[in-house]
Chains A and B, each alone.
Chain A
Amino acid sequence: GAGVSQSPSNKVTEKGKDVELRCDPISGHTALYWYRQSLGQGLEFLIYFQGNSAPDKSGLPSDRFSAERTGGSVSTLTIQRTQQEDSAVYLCASSNSPQRVHNSPLHFGNGTRLTVT
């Protein structure tokens, strides 16, 4: 596709339920990132994929959060037993490999707005 696609655009869930957020990166981009943005806050790094492996998952807030990427393309971020503090916009971005193209910018999707009630 022309850009990074995320689904759903909005998700309302009850506390304690599991949610899955999907990201479809720009074709050919080997690097994929998940960030989250809470109201009035900056973008908080969650996890980075290079291909299907995740060399940096240092930003995942707890073991309730996990992510995977298959076929070097689509990624899914899963939040188990959601809590109200998980409410935020979850943004996915993709880029060329920063090791090969150091000035390669991140291209963001429109995000998934998650509300935990």
Chain B
Amino acid sequence: GQNIDQPTEMTATEGAIVQINCTYQTSGFNGLFWYQQHAGEAPTFLSYNVLDGLEEKGRFSSFLSRSKGYSYLLLKELQMKDSASYLCAVRDVNTGFQKLVFGTGTRLLVSP
């Protein structure tokens, strides 16, 4: 099966840059997703990587290295509203192509 690791909690200051790491172990990697989840709300899709490299989308970027089993989510110009949990999820063709397996998430607290 998969083993997905993320830091439990991170803190950062408004206006700063923060990098949230995710490492995974899969036998048949076929895509990695990042989701944002505010407390008491549904997870919302942020980004998708299947090839190595950086995907940029406004203030958020996501990076993937398949050989290292590693991804990160980069958040720039942090705003208070970015305080949320960030979930890394992996799709694996060998354990059920259709489903996403999620990490436990990283709770980000942005302070003034």
- A35 to B101: give the CA distance in the assembly, Å: 10
Given A45-B96, A91-B43, A105-B48, 15 other A-B contacts at CB below 8 A?
A31-B98, A33-B100, A42-B105, A43-B43, A43-B89, A43-B102, A45-B101, A48-B99, A50-B98, A58-B96, A98-B98, A105-B33, A105-B45, A107-B45, A110-B42
Within 8 A of A (CB), among B33-52: 33, 41-45, 48, 50
- Interface pairs (25), CB distance under 8 Å: A4-B42, A42-B4, A42-B102, A42-B104, A43-B43, A43-B89, A43-B102, A45-B100, A48-B98, A48-B99, A56-B98, A98-B91, A98-B98, A102-B50, A103-B50, A105-B33, A105-B45, A105-B48, A106-B33, A106-B43, A106-B45, A106-B100, A107-B45, A108-B43, A110-B41
Q: Is A109 an interface residue (CB 8 A)?
A: yes
A88 to chain B, nearest CB (A): 14
| Closest chain A CB from B44 CB (angstroms) | 7
Contact of A42 among B42, B48, B50, B87 (CB under 8 A): B87
Residues facing B in A67-87 (CB within 8 A) are: none
Take A42-B87, A102-B30 as given contacts and tell me if A108 and B97 are in contact as well, using a CB distance cutoff of 8 Å.
no
Residues of A within 8 A of B102 (CB): 35, 42-43, 45
Interface size classification for chain B: 20 to 34
Residue of B nearest to A92 (CB): B42
| Chain A contact residues, CB within 8 Å of chain B | 4, 31, 33, 35, 40-43, 45, 48, 50, 55-56, 58-59, 91, 98-99, 102-103, 105-111
User: Could you mark each residue 79-111 of chain B with 1 if its beta carbon is under 8 Å from any beta carbon of chain A, else 0?
Assistant: 000000001010100001111111111000000
Cα A39 to Cα B57 with chains together (Å): 30
Contacts of B4 in A (CB 8 A): 42
Classify the interface of chain A: helix, strand, loop or mixed.
loop
Residue of A whose beta carbon sits closest to that of B107: A40
